[in-house]
Amino acid sequence: MDDIQNYELTSCEAEVWCLKQTGLTHQAIAEQLQMAEATVKNHVSSIQVKRNAELTEQQPIGHGLLDVGFWINLPD
């Protein structure tokens, strides 16, 4: 649960994050938390932004690896 504190997740984001780590789909998480699937997707996107912001702060400029499963090219 260090991720929750490290990335300063809201309580809703933390709930979604914990369930996502168990392998549940967005739909299953939405049903369990009684929210719309679109809301779950918004929380996941917000979590990814927060995680990537911290990761990129730790990397020198010019490295384009983001923790969303793809590469981007950042200008040097």
The answer to whether residue 24 scores a pLDDT higher than 90 is yes
For residues 47 and 31, is the Cβ–Cβ distance under 8 A?
A: no
Residue-level pLDDT at 62: 47
Q: How confident is the model at residue 72 (pLDDT cuts 50, 70, 90)?
A: very low
* Helix 26-33 with 11-21: angle, nearest 10 deg: 130
- Domain membership flag for residue 12: yes
Whether the model pTM is above 0.75: no
The Cβ-side half-sphere exposure at 58, using a 13 Å CA radius, reads 9
CATH classification at residue 21: 1.10.10.10
CA distance linking residue 9 with residue 59, whole number of Å = 21
CA distance linking residue 51 with residue 67, whole number of Å = 7
Per mean pLDDT, which range of 39-43, 50-54, 56-60, 70-74 is the poorest? 70-74
- Domain membership flag for residue 74: no
For residues 32-50, average pLDDT: 93
What range defines the domain where residue 41 resides? 2-58
